[in-house]
Copies of this chain bind each other. A is one copy, B any other.
Amino acid sequence: MTKRGATLSTSDARRDVVVDAAIAEFARGGYHSTPISAVAAKADISPAYVFKLFPSKVSLFVAALDRCYELVTHALANGAARADGEDPGRLLYEMGGAYAELIADRNLLMLQVHAQSAADTPEIADAVRRGLAKVTEFARSRSGAGDEQVQRFIAYGQLCHLIATLDLDEHAGEWAAVLSAGIRHPGKN
């Protein structure tokens, strides 16, 4: 579809579509093993045009990451709204729940995992730090929790990533139950 000269569109609208496609594709294969052509196919666009919308592969990846952290922050805000005015622990708990719901489809989660692994590319490391700063600072200021509670919040988020990456709630035995206990895990898909 969208063969020879179909649906004209503005390049800004296209850029959004491409970013969505990039999130999905990069989440599947990671930065290095996802070709631009895969993203282009998902966005129903030629590979060449992706390079007209974004100057390079890495800048597209960064755009996807930025969007990812933006969505995460929004989710945290929504979660916090569910326990507005209550104590910090309760607020963080709701934020965690909202995060778990958001990453239920695993795309945003896997993108973060892959980004961490690709952090030897400076632009990517910067983007991850920027996003993590945003999330951490929001969690702290919005919940009013102390440093230790916030640290714990992020640490269990990382554990959650590990569990999901390895499908620990399916494949596994005793030890996996220990790690997954009480974590609101994203149901498959």
Contacts and interface: CB of A to CB of B under 8 A. Distances in A.
Interface stretch (A47-55, A59-67, A81-89, A158-166): A158-166
Contact of A162 (B32, B147, B158, B171): B158
Query: From DSSP, what is the main secondary structure of chain A's interface residues?
Result: helix
Interface residues of A, number: 46
A162 B30 CA distance: 17
Given A151-B159, A158-B155, A161-B158, A175 B117 contact: no
A132 interface: yes
A176 interface: yes
A181 to B, nearest CB: 6
Nearest to A128: B166
A145 B151 CA distance: 22
Q: How many copies does the complex hold?
A: 2
A7 interface: no
Interface stretch (A8-16, A17-25, A96-104, A133-141): A133-141
A137 B177 CA distance: 11
Nearest to A137: B175
A136 B178 contact: yes
B178 A118 contact: no
Contacts of A45: none
Given A125-B166, A150-B178, 12 more contacts: A114-B117, A116-B117, A125-B167, A128-B166, A129-B168, A129-B172, A133-B176, A136-B178, A136-B179, A137-B175, A148-B181, A158-B161
Counting from the closest, the 7 A-B pairs by CB-CB distance are A117-B117, A158-B158, A155-B159, A32-B32, A136-B175, A32-B33, A155-B155
Interface of A: 28-30, 32-33, 113-114, 116-120, 125, 128-129, 132-133, 136-137, 140, 147-148, 150-152, 154-156, 158-159, 161-162, 165-168, 171-176, 178-179, 181-182
